[in-house]
Amino acid sequence: MDTSLRLKNYKQILSDLISFDTTSKNSNISAIKYIENLFKNNSYYQSIKVFNKVKDKCSIYIKPKNINVKNGILFSGHIDTVPTNEQKWTNNPYKAHIFKNKIFGRGSTDMKGFLSVVIYNMLKNPSYPFCLTVTYDEETGCDGIKTLLSYLNKKKIVLPNKCIVGEPTNLKIVTANKGVEIIETSILSKIDEGHSSNFNQKINTITTSASFISYLQSLQELIPNKKILKCNPGNSSIHIGLLSGGTSHNIIPKKSSFRWEMRYINSDNVFITNKFLKFQKNFINKHKMFTSNYLVKNKTLFSVLGLKEKNQKNVINFIKKYTNSDAYHVPYGTEAGIIQSYGLSTIIFGPGSIKQAHKPDEYIKISELDKFDKILSKIN
């Protein structure tokens, strides 16, 4: 990539960022190196990289040198994207395509558009304490931001007291979103598989999974917090996304498993989990003639804190100097709750629409990038 002294505009930076296939399963090192190189010739900034355990991914924190950033602003964005497999794209998803004042490409709106405008403004006007974090694996559990913040906290590296997480919100201020937990529930029989003709069909590992899933679905109506958030749905939700079990129609299934998620508000995740574990125990005891040899496991694959409406006055007062927006909420998960847990006054705010995220022919309107650029240009 060209990283000469000539300052690239945000459309050029976005085009370059789209060219990196940063699907979560891939390494992001080349994309991070590109961003690092943009700042390399600017003596005003320093960068800190934090790698994952196998050193094939890293997050980066870019901050001004020799300046107290405490009263500055942290912009936080993830570089990883969802896959394009089995999606029908009109053009190559990893080559930016401009059509009708829209920039098409994977990650254009979620959330490389945000990153490109922030990077451009940091390089254009280094007089204000803008800081930036770029992270990996937000789409698969937010490991990148967790590892980065843990390292910075351990090393006592100062962060700004305000943070804007740049998910696509159409440049509206978001003050709350749901937490997320992904759980895998598996039922394993200690008895080897056998011929289905030799089995009393009342209970097996697959039908046990079915009973567990039915109960989870019924819990939806019992969740205490109703319509708390100003979004749709405004309550906690339970979703079963993957189900597997057995090896053939005529073999007694030895194992069955399913993955499910909670997108929760407040402590609804604790309520759901406690109810579900109690149901599992009662079910196994009730049917112990068939289930005494079963081993039931519930493994949390990842969890992400939700953003709460607390300690936000600082960042809201700051951003409202430059844009007019009422506060609203979103149902999807973000890194914002994790950042908030480290004491930063945090909101979600960025260009583009979430309706375009994860879709084939993902795009961001150039007018949205221009509006975001004007907002950042006013800050000095």
pLDDT < 70 regions, the chain? 1-6, 199-201
How many Cβ atoms are within 10 Å of 40's Cβ, its own excluded? Answer: 12
pLDDT for the residue 196:
83
Residues 75 and 30 in one domain: yes
Domain boundary among 252, 274, 304: 304
Same domain flag for 159 and 288: no
CB 147 within 8 A of CB 52: yes
Shared-domain flag, residues 76 and 199: no
Total structural domains within the chain: 2
Same domain, 58 and 89: yes
Whether the CB-CB separation of 304 and 142 falls below 8 Å is answered with yes
Residue 1 domain-assigned (yes or no): no
Q: Which of 251, 273, 304 is the last residue of a domain?
A: 304
CB 115 within 8 A of CB 125: no
Q: 185 and 164, same structural domain?
A: no
Angstrom distance (rounded) from CA 372 to CA 377: 9
Same domain, 39 and 168: yes
Q: What's residue 2's pLDDT?
A: 44
Q: Which of 269, 304, 339 is the C-terminal boundary of a domain?
A: 304
Q: What is the CATH number of the domain that holds 248?
A: 3.30.70.360
* Same domain membership, residue 186 and residue 121: no
Q: At what angle do helices 366-378 and 113-124 cross, to 10 degrees?
A: 40
Q: Which domain holds residue 194?
A: 179-304
The answer to whether residues 134 and 75 touch, using CB atoms and an 8 Å cutoff, is no
Q: What is the 3-state secondary structure (H, E, C) of the chain?
A: CCCCCCCCCHHHHHHHHHCCCCECCCCCHHHHHHHHHHHHCCCCEEEEEEECCCCCCEEEEEEECCCCCCCCEEEEEECCECCCCCCCCCCCCCCCEEECCEEECCCHHHHHHHHHHHHHHHHHCCCCCEEEEEECCHHHCCHHHHHHHHHHHHCCCCCCCEEEECCCECCCEEEEECEEEEEEEEEEECCCCCEHHHCCCCCCHHHHHHHHHHHHHHHCCCCCCCCCCCCCCCCCEEEEEEEEECCCCCECCCEEEEEEEEEECCCHHHHHHHHHHHHHHHHHHHCHHHHCCEEEEEEEEEEECCCCCCCCHHHHHHHCCCCCCCEEEECCCCCHHHHHCCCCEEEECCCCEHHHCCCCCCEEEHHHHHHHHHHHHHCC
Answer yes or no: do 273 and 188 share one domain: yes
Residues 250 and 168 in one domain: no
Residues 158 and 215 in one domain: no
How many Å apart are CA 30 and CA 81, to the nearest integer? 14
Provide the pLDDT for residue 5: 47
In a domain, 260, yes or no: yes
- Within its chain, how far is the Cα of 48 from the centroid? 22
What does the pLDDT look like over 96-107, one tens digit per residue? 999 999 999 999
- Contact (Cβ atoms closer than 8 angstroms) between residue 161 and residue 131: no
Distances (CA, A) of 75 to 63, 162, 165, 346, 370: 11, 9, 6, 10, 17
* CA distances for 335 relative to 14, 77, 114, 138, 174, angstroms: 21, 8, 15, 7, 13
The CATH number assigned to the domain holding 158 equals: 3.40.630.10
Q: Are 350 and 172 in contact (CB under 8 A)?
A: no
- Retrieve residue 322's tokens: 């430059």
Q: Are residues 238 and 332 in the same domain?
A: no
- Same structural domain, 112 and 216: no
Q: Are strands 102-104 and 58-64 parallel, antiparallel or unpaired?
A: unpaired
Question: For residue 62, what are the CA distances in angstroms to 82, 251, 329?
Answer: 24, 57, 28
